[in-house]
Amino acid sequence: MIKGETLLDLGQEWREFAACSDRTDDLFFPSNESDISMVRVAKAVCQSCPVQEECLQYSLATGQTEGIWGGLTSRERRVARRKRVSTIRRAS
Ligand code: SF4
């Protein structure tokens, strides 16, 4: 990762430990997330990442709409975000 960031710098100390921090390619920002082989490789890196949960929570909290974050594609994060909003609404 971590490219194309446009949002506020919110508590990103976890990035120091990101398994993708030395990658300079577009693996985590494929031009087409339907490219299953590329997505699988990125997700495999995420699975071994010590800050996967922090990465995912950051992406959800900051509304990252592109790329693979925390082992989820943009589509998977949209679903997770909807579930999160639904849970918050039920709790209030
Ligand atoms: S979970 Fe994946 S995208 Fe997030 S920091 Fe780790 S390797 Fe990078």
Has residue 8 been placed in a domain? no
Whose tokens are 């990125």? That residue is 42
| 49 Cα nearest atom in ligand 1 | 6
**C-alpha 86 to ligand 1 mean position (Å):** 25
Pocket of ligand 1 (CB under 6 A): 1, 18-20, 28, 45-46, 49, 51-52, 55, 68-71
Has residue 57 been placed in a domain? yes
DSSP state of 50: T
- Average confidence (pLDDT) over 65-91: 93
Is the pLDDT confidence value at 53 over 70? yes
Has residue 70 been placed in a domain? yes
**C-alpha 44 to ligand 1 mean position (Å):** 10
Has residue 86 been placed in a domain? yes
Has residue 4 been placed in a domain? no
Percentage of the chain lying above the pLDDT 70 cut: 89
Has residue 20 been placed in a domain? yes
Has residue 58 been placed in a domain? yes
Is the pLDDT confidence value at 9 over 70? no
- Average confidence (pLDDT) over 60-82: 94
The token duo for 67 is 């790329």
Range of the domain at 59: 14-91
HEC-encoded secondary structure of 6-31: CCCCCCCHHHHHCCCCCCCCCCCCCC
pTM equals 0.82
- Tally of domains within the chain: 1
